[in-house]
């Protein structure tokens, strides 16, 4: 079982690499465009082969992705760096609040 699962995982990675999904953003966009052009005819061919009656109007449209990985990555980096830049100040504030709380308990 382990060898079969490993083989399938390796084949999936190879296909992803071969289709350009692991390359640059432009290669990924080209692969997505190619998949959007190829997928509906392939589904139609398989449904005809299996004897299922599926009309093109019944197939859902391909989803439109308006997602930029680089923008999301940059936003995440900015958020982390912002949190790290205010961390020393917040640590001092929380430490002072903690000492004040402890002093009030001791009184």
The more confidently predicted of residues 62 and 1 is 1
Residue with the two structure tokens 């009030």: 104
Look at residue 66 in the predicted model and tell me its pLDDT.
73
Rounded Cα gap, residues 24 and 65, in angstroms? 17
DSSP code, position 55: -
Domain boundaries, the chain: 1-57, 66-106
Residue with the two structure tokens 């308006």: 66
Contact 69, 95 (CB under 8 A): no
Q: Does the predicted TM-score (pTM) go above 0.75?
A: no
Residue 10 reports pLDDT greater than 80: yes
Assign 55 a pLDDT band (cuts: 50, 70, 90): low
pLDDT digits (tens, 9 = 90+) for 72-100: 888 888 999 998 999 999 999 999 999 99
Contact 70, 25 (CB under 8 A): yes
């Amino acid at each position: 079982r382990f060898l079969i699962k490993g083989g399938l995982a390796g084949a999936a990675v190879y296909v992803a690499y071969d289709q350009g999904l692991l390359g640059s953003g432009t290669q990924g966009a080209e692969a997505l465009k190619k998949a959007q052009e190829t997928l509906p005819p392939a589904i139609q061919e398989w449904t005809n082969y299996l004897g299922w009656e599926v009309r093109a109007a019944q197939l859902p449209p391909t989803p439109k992705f308006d997602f930029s990985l680089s923008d999301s990555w940059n936003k995440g980096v900015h958020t982390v760096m912002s949190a790290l830049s205010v961390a020393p100040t917040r640590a001092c504030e929380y430490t002072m609040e903690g000492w004040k709380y402890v002093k009030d308990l001791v009184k």
